[in-house]
Structure 1
């Protein structure tokens, strides 16, 4: 018997940094059990250059990446999503897209590296920080026993993951 493969959509506003990183990281860290996608409610039309540079430096595939609208995933022939994660930063008063339908959803807010455009060093650090945060959350998510959790339990676990921080405790 083969394990199920889960479709995971990462959403943000511009689909140029955070959601793209989520797509690539879940594909990389998911052990073949997850297929990542990304989209934006108002796509910028391009991937943020420091994101592409980071992904390429890690040997991750970038050729298929493009900034796209979430409308593509609402089309009749689009893959059905099992999970949808919004990664907008509500602390920065960004408007996050809301995904209709039945997938299990969670909000994993994080700062937007694109806000650092124009300051290359800060942009690179911001990308690295988002990668760290997303990688930790994705590792927790992909280690969940998805086939043995009911929908409500799974939703609760995803909410716990959204609040996870691996920052050192104050001394």
Structure 2
């Protein structure tokens, strides 16, 4: 099963989601991330945070949803603007859900306030991914309505 984490810039929240998911997921589950208007580079604080958490960032880069290397079965938007954007037609019959997370890269303040924002975003994303991975995925794949309900419920979880 492939999961696509989508955001506008693909530099922070979607990349955090991709890296955390791939770090925690068992074999057979894979995440990728992309953006509708990719920033072209990963946010340095997001990369540093993942490295501090012991999560590899090797091979990750800011990329467009136009050239995905695989077809996702699940599409998770992690920013408000991406949730309102039209998904590309080639994604086809994909389960869509929105797990909005405030963008820590937009926080203005002291070094401590900015770091706290990144830690909070990380904690929310990780809690949601852990909840996803705890689902009875094989059973839910047979019941798309229930699967969608579970994905939407997870999107309301806070750390």
TM-score (norm 2): 0.88
Partner Cα distance (2:39, 2:110) in 1 = 19
- Residue 15 of structure 1 pairs with residue 6 of structure 2: no
- Please name the residue that 2:32 is paired with: 37
Distance 1:116 1:165 in 2: 19
Residues 1:156 and 2:149 aligned together: yes
Cα distance in 1, alignment partners of residues 93 and 109 from structure 2: 39
The 5-angstrom pairing of residues 28-107 of structure 1 reads: 28-73=23-68, 78-88=69-79, 90=80, 94-96=81-83, 97-99=85-87, 100=89, 101-107=92-98
SS at match of 2:10: coil
Q: Contact between 2:6 and 2:82, CA under 8 Å: does it hold in 1? A: no
List per-residue Cα deviations over 1:78-127 (Å, max 9, x = no partner).
31111110000x3xxx3534434111110000101110267533332111
d(CA) in 1 for partners of 2:111, 2:38: 22
Question: Please, which runs of 5 or more residues in structure 2 have no aligned partner?
Answer: none
Could you say which residue in structure 2 is the equivalent of 1:169? none
Structure 1 residue corresponding to 2:19, chosen from 4, 7, 24: 24
Residue 117 (structure 2) aligns with: 126
Q: Report the Cα distance in structure 2 between the residues aligned to 1:129 and 1:122, rounded to whole angstroms.
A: 10
1:135 corresponds in structure 2 to: 126
Aligned-residue CA RMSD (Å): 1.7
> How many corresponding residue pairs?
153
CA contact (8 A) 1:50 1:123 kept: no
Greater Cα offset, 151-160 or 110-119: 110-119
For 1:135 and 1:156, locate their aligned partners in 2 and report how far apart those are by CA, in whole Å. Answer: 19
